[in-house]
Structure 1
Amino acid sequence: MENELILNKLNRIEKFIFGLKNILNVEEFCEYTGFEKSFIYKLVHQGKIPYSKPNGKVLFFERKKYDDWLLRNSHIILAEIN
């Protein structure tokens, strides 16, 4: 039971640290968005999401751009209309 508590706390710390990073690799981006790796590669291949590939092999993603990208089609709720 104590080991589970420690692991849960470590997971929370790890997620907090994710929020501090500006540049994410594919694995971190999967964790950040909840998307599957194959879906991310599909979006990259189709040119639907911005990415960087500085060495020609490894993909990197700028978190700020994705915050904007993930929220770009937001909908207005009735309370905001009134």
Structure 2
Amino acid sequence: MENIEKKILSFKEAVLFMDVSKSLLYKLTSEGRINFFKPNNGKVYFRKEDLENWMMQNEVKSITSLEESIIDKMRTSGRKY
């Protein structure tokens, strides 16, 4: 995708960046599930950062990552198990 360093993306650019269908992006905007801007009630624009935040929600961690997190919490709590 061209201009990958852009901070503001048009609707079409957002669809390409997120690799989703137009209908899904329309649904996300109409349901208020993703931030967007509509200057002068015209075209829809998105902050790239908002799109990235939406894509990175609901992380599913690997077993190894969960184990490391538990071990780290056990170490920092000072409790003996």
Unmatched 5+ residue regions in structure 1?
A: 1-14
Q: How many correspondences in the alignment?
A: 67
1:39 aligned residue = 24
CA deviation map 1:26-50 (0-9, x unaligned): 1100110111112211111111111
1:73 aligned residue = 58
What fraction of aligned residue pairs are identical, expressed as a percent?
A: 25
What RMSD over aligned residues (CA atoms) do the two structures have, in Å? 1.2
Q: Which has the higher helix share?
A: 1
1:23 aligned residue = 8
Report the CA distance between 1:18 and its aligned residue.
Answer: 3.5
**Which structure has the bigger radius of gyration?**
2
Equivalent residues of 2:34, 2:50 under 8 A apart: no
Greater than 4 Å deviation, 4+ residue runs: none
2 CA distance for matches of 1:36 and 1:27? Answer: 10
